[in-house]
Amino acid sequence: METIVIALGGNALLNPSGRQSYAEGQRNMARVARSIVSIARGHRVVVTHGNGTQVGDELVRNISSKGEIDPLPLYAMTAETQGTIGSEIALALGREARLRGIGMRVGCVLTHVVVSPRDPSFSRPAKPIGPTMALGELKRYRMGGMGIAKSKGGYRLTVASPRPREILELDAIRDLSRSGIVVACGGGGVPVVRRGSSLQGAAAVIDKDSTTRLLANSLGAGTMLILTDAGYVYADYPKNKWAITEMPASSMKRFADRFEAGSIRPKVEAAVEFVENGGKEARIGNLFELDGIMKGRSGTRVY
């Protein structure tokens, strides 16, 4: 039975920051769950998810305490949001399976991902996180390992985004996938570094799509799906907005500089790496068009 790894965009699913209600997030997850359960009837399915907005919200809650509580380290915020979002996804998948009368197990694995302490991103933290704020205010909230970058309307904190090296719970994820759907590697995983014989949390946020790629290749998946709020990968966006329906990985790699940095480019890079490392195909498309993506009627196919 083929393994399919599905990455869900966190922004489109569950956004508790006020830009989307909690109830709306649950309705969104229920829509996606119907498609995922259908796929799982004929495939082994592992689901990953983003948490960018949610980690930013958690950061705001920590820094808004104004010293009344000790702020959580960044890796702990990833662990918190990984558990919260993963729980919601697992519950939605379980409800959908029961509604259909399918005896399908759903498990959620809190996942740690090893990164190198010598990754260059630690010396140049460039991944934006949290809200846009005034520079003076932001400086009071900056924690160790964070930088500050100018943003539209103000400034944002930046953090390291190191490359994932190893998924510690890989064997558990593989074993659980043989008997049901597994939710894992949320938010790119909790980043940890090796210090001698021990592991320590790292002040970083790992790119979710990069970890999804590593997971998919490590599991020997044939297909990787990256779901976002766009229907296709667009080259030269936003000038020409040329939709790409399918393209070989080698050609897509040559187009890398024509994709929007920080949004679609990491997804394209993950798709290309997946195919280069033995995957059959990767598809990138809209979160709510999963059925059409699977049937080739929607989304961008990289092969």
pLDDT in single tens digits along all 303 residues of the chain: 999 999 998 766 655 444 556 677 778 889 999 999 999 999 999 999 999 888 888 887 877 766 677 778 999 999 999 999 999 999 999 999 999 999 999 999 999 999 999 999 999 999 998 888 889 878 877 777 889 999 888 999 999 999 999 999 999 999 999 999 999 999 999 999 999 999 999 999 999 999 999 999 999 999 999 999 889 998 876 666 788 999 999 999 998 888 877 778 999 999 999 999 999 999 999 999 999 999 999 999 999
- Whether 11 is catalytic is yes
Alpha helix (H) ranges present in 220-286?
249-254, 265-276
Domain with residues 3-112+169-221, CATH architecture: 3-Layer(aba) Sandwich (3.40)
Q: Is 205 exposed, middle or buried (0-12, 13-18, 19+ CB in 10 A)?
A: buried
**DSSP one-letter code for 217:** H
Structure token digits, residue 69: 């509580």
- Whether 295 is catalytic is no
Residues facing 195 on adjacent strands: 198
Structure token digits, residue 286: 């809209």
Active-site choice (15, 189, 208, 299) = 208
Q: Which residues of 85-109 are buried (b: 16+ CB within 10 A; e: fewer)?
A: bbebbbbbbbebbeeeeeebebbbb
C-beta atoms surrounding 146 within 10 Å: 18
- The reported pLDDT for the residue numbered 89 is 95
- Whether 127 is catalytic is yes
- The reported pLDDT for the residue numbered 144 is 77
- Whether 9 is catalytic is no
- Whether 152 is catalytic is no
Rounded Cα distance between 112 and 193, Å, is 10
Active-site choice (11, 62, 217, 286) = 11
Structure token digits, residue 108: 């959620």
Active-site choice (9, 10, 94, 279) = 10
- The reported pLDDT for the residue numbered 90 is 96
Q: Where in the chain is the domain with CATH 3.40.1160.10?
A: 3-112+169-221
Rounded Cα distance between 205 and 170, Å, is 19
Q: How close are the terminal C-alpha atoms of the chain, in Å?
A: 20
Residues 6+ apart with CB under 8 A from 137: none
Give the chain's length: 303
**Residues 104, 179 contacting (CB under 8 angstroms):** no
Active-site choice (9, 25, 52, 127) = 127
- The reported pLDDT for the residue numbered 214 is 98
Phi-psi region of 273 (alpha: psi -120 to 50; beta: other; left: phi over 0): alpha
Active-site choice (180, 187, 267, 285) = 267
- The reported pLDDT for the residue numbered 16 is 45
